[in-house]
Chains A and B, each alone.
Chain A
Amino acid sequence: MKKQLFILLCLGFFIMTTQAQVQTLKGTITEYGEGGSMSPVSGASVQWLGTNIGAFSDAEGHFEITRVSSFNRLIVRYLTYENDTIEVPQDQETLNVILSAANSLQGVEISAREGSYISIKPILTQITTGEGLRRAACCNLAESFEGSLSVDVEYADAVSGAQQIAMLGLSGIYTQILLENVPYIRLLGNQFGLGFVPGSWMDAISVSKGTSSVSNGFEGITGQINLDYKKPETNKEKLFLNLYGNTMGSADVNLNTRFPMSKTKPVYGLLLLHANSQMVRLDNNNDGFMDLPLTKQLNSMFRIDYRYKEVMEGRTMIGYLIEDRVGGQMKYDPKQELNMFNPYGLHIKTNKMDLITKNGFMFKDHHHRSIGTILSFNFQDNQSIFGMRLYNAEQVSGYANILYSDRFGAKENHRVGMGLSMQVDYLREILKTLQVSTSHYFQNKKEIVPGFYAEYAYSIAEKFIVMPGFRVDYHAYYNQMLYTPRLHTKWQISEHNAVRASAGKAYRVSNVIAENLSLLVSNREFIFVEDLKPEEAYNVGASYVRTFKMKGGQSTFTVDYHYTHFVNQTIVDMDRDAHNIYVYNLNGGVNGILNQSYSHAFQAELIMLPIDRFEITLAYRFNDVQMTTAGQLQQKALMSPHKALLNLNYATRYNKWKFNTTLQYNSKMRLPKLDPALVQPEQELPQYRLDAQSPDYFILNAQITRKHKQWEFYIGAENMLNYKQEMPILGYDNPFGPQFDASMVYAPITGIMGYVGMRLTLRNH
Chain B
Amino acid sequence: MKKLFILVVLAAFGLSTALYAQSSKKQTVTIKTNACSSKSDEIFKEIIPFLKGVSSYEFCEHSGNLTVTYNPKKTDEATIRKAIAKLGFDADDVKGDPVARKKLPQECLTPVKKGSCKHSCGEH
Chain A contact residues, CB within 8 Å of chain B = 10-11, 13-17, 22, 24, 26, 28, 40, 60-62, 93-94, 96, 653-654, 656, 707-709, 763-765
**Cross-chain contact B124 with A94 (CB below 8 angstroms):** no
A93 to B45, CA, bound (A): 26
**In the complex, given contacts A17-B118, A96-B38, what are 9 additional A-B residue pairs having Cβ atoms less than 8 angstroms apart?**
A13-B61, A13-B116, A15-B119, A16-B123, A22-B115, A62-B107, A656-B50, A765-B105, A765-B108
Which residues on the A side are within 8 Å of B38 (C-beta)? 10, 96
**Cross-chain contact A707 with B108 (CB below 8 angstroms):** no
B93 at the interface (CB under 8 A from A): no
**Cross-chain contact B103 with A93 (CB below 8 angstroms):** no
**Contacts of B42-70 to chain A: CB distance below 8 A:** 42-43, 45-47, 49-51, 56, 61-62
Least Cβ–Cβ distance between A20 and chain B, in angstroms: 14
A709 to B51, CA, bound (A): 7
**Cross-chain contact A707 with B119 (CB below 8 angstroms):** no
**Cross-chain contact A94 with B116 (CB below 8 angstroms):** yes
A sample of 18 cross-chain residue pairs with beta-carbon separation below 8 angstroms, ordered by A number, consists of A11-B124, A16-B119, A16-B123, A16-B124, A26-B111, A26-B116, A28-B37, A60-B106, A62-B107, A94-B115, A94-B116, A96-B37, A654-B45, A656-B50, A709-B46, A709-B50, A765-B43, A765-B104
**Cross-chain contact A28 with B107 (CB below 8 angstroms):** yes
Chain B contact residues, CB within 8 Å of chain A = 37-38, 42-43, 45-47, 49-51, 56, 61-62, 103-108, 111, 115-116, 118-119, 123-124
**Cross-chain contact A60 with B124 (CB below 8 angstroms):** no
Least Cβ–Cβ distance between A268 and chain B, in angstroms: 15
Q: Which of A22, A26, A61, A654 has the most CB of B within 10 A?
A: A654
- Closest chain B residue to A653, Cβ basis: B56
Least Cβ–Cβ distance between B15 and chain A, in angstroms: 17
Partner pick for B106 among A62, A96, A654, A709, CB 8 A cutoff: A62
Which residues on the B side are within 8 Å of A763 (C-beta)? 46
A707 to B119, CA, bound (A): 33
A16 to B104, CA, bound (A): 29
A358 to B57, CA, bound (A): 43
Which residues on the B side are within 8 Å of A24 (C-beta)? 115
A653 to B49, CA, bound (A): 9
**Cross-chain contact A60 with B105 (CB below 8 angstroms):** yes
A-B CB contacts (within 8 Å), total count: 58
- Closest chain B residue to A14, Cβ basis: B124
Least Cβ–Cβ distance between B117 and chain A, in angstroms: 8
Which residues on the A side are within 8 Å of B105 (C-beta)? 60, 765
Which residues on the B side are within 8 Å of A16 (C-beta)? 119, 123-124
Which residues on the A side are within 8 Å of B104 (C-beta)? 765
Which residues on the B side are within 8 Å of A656 (C-beta)? 49-50
With A653-B49, A654-B50: A765-B119 Cβ-Cβ less than 8 Å: no
Which residues on the B side are within 8 Å of A61 (C-beta)? 107
A763 to B38, CA, bound (A): 17
Least Cβ–Cβ distance between A24 and chain B, in angstroms: 7
Which residues on the B side are within 8 Å of A26 (C-beta)? 111, 115-116
Q: Which of B47, B103, B107 has the most CB of A within 10 A?
A: B107
A10 to B62, CA, bound (A): 13
Which residues on the B side are within 8 Å of A17 (C-beta)? 118-119
Which residues on the A side are within 8 Å of B108 (C-beta)? 765
Least Cβ–Cβ distance between B38 and chain A, in angstroms: 7
A765 to B89, CA, bound (A): 13
Which residues on the B side are within 8 Å of A14 (C-beta)? 124
With A24-B115, A60-B107, A94-B116: A709-B124 Cβ-Cβ less than 8 Å: no
With A60-B107, A94-B115, A765-B104: A13-B51 Cβ-Cβ less than 8 Å: no
With A93-B116, A654-B45: A765-B103 Cβ-Cβ less than 8 Å: yes
Which residues on the B side are within 8 Å of A15 (C-beta)? 62, 116, 119, 124
Least Cβ–Cβ distance between A368 and chain B, in angstroms: 28
Partner pick for A13 among B46, B106, B124, CB 8 A cutoff: B124
- Closest chain A residue to B100, Cβ basis: A765
Which residues on the A side are within 8 Å of B116 (C-beta)? 13, 15, 26, 93-94
A61 to B37, CA, bound (A): 12
Least Cβ–Cβ distance between B6 and chain A, in angstroms: 12
Partner pick for A93 among B46, B51, B115, CB 8 A cutoff: B115
A17 to B123, CA, bound (A): 10
A28 to B37, CA, bound (A): 9
A159 to B123, CA, bound (A): 66
- Closest chain A residue to B106, Cβ basis: A60
A24 to B113, CA, bound (A): 11
A30 to B43, CA, bound (A): 17
Least Cβ–Cβ distance between B30 and chain A, in angstroms: 19
A707 to B46, CA, bound (A): 10
A61 to B118, CA, bound (A): 21
Partner pick for A764 among B50, B103, B106, CB 8 A cutoff: B103
Q: Which of A26, A707, A765 has the most CB of B within 10 A?
A: A765
Which residues on the B side are within 8 Å of A764 (C-beta)? 103
Least Cβ–Cβ distance between B60 and chain A, in angstroms: 10
A351 to B47, CA, bound (A): 42
- Closest chain B residue to A765, Cβ basis: B43
- Closest chain A residue to B48, Cβ basis: A654
Which residues on the A side are within 8 Å of B103 (C-beta)? 764-765
Q: Which of B37, B43, B61 has the most CB of A within 10 A?
A: B37
Which residues on the A side are within 8 Å of B45 (C-beta)? 654
Which residues on the B side are within 8 Å of A10 (C-beta)? 38
Which residues on the A side are within 8 Å of B107 (C-beta)? 28, 40, 60-62
**Cross-chain contact A707 with B56 (CB below 8 angstroms):** no
- Closest chain B residue to A60, Cβ basis: B106
A406 to B80, CA, bound (A): 52
Which residues on the A side are within 8 Å of B51 (C-beta)? 709
Query: Which A-B residue pairs are the 4 nearest by beta carbons?
Result: A709-B50, A654-B49, A94-B116, A765-B43
- Closest chain B residue to A652, Cβ basis: B49
- Closest chain A residue to B118, Cβ basis: A17
- Closest chain B residue to A708, Cβ basis: B50
- Closest chain B residue to A15, Cβ basis: B119
Which residues on the A side are within 8 Å of B46 (C-beta)? 709, 763
A60 to B42, CA, bound (A): 15
- Closest chain B residue to A16, Cβ basis: B123
- Closest chain B residue to A707, Cβ basis: B50
Which residues on the B side are within 8 Å of A707 (C-beta)? 50
- Closest chain B residue to A40, Cβ basis: B107
Least Cβ–Cβ distance between B61 and chain A, in angstroms: 8
Least Cβ–Cβ distance between B122 and chain A, in angstroms: 11
A656 to B48, CA, bound (A): 12
A26 to B49, CA, bound (A): 30
Which residues on the B side are within 8 Å of A653 (C-beta)? 49, 56
Least Cβ–Cβ distance between B20 and chain A, in angstroms: 13
- Closest chain A residue to B45, Cβ basis: A654
A17 to B118, CA, bound (A): 9
Which residues on the A side are within 8 Å of B37 (C-beta)? 28, 96
A40 to B104, CA, bound (A): 15
A407 to B42, CA, bound (A): 35
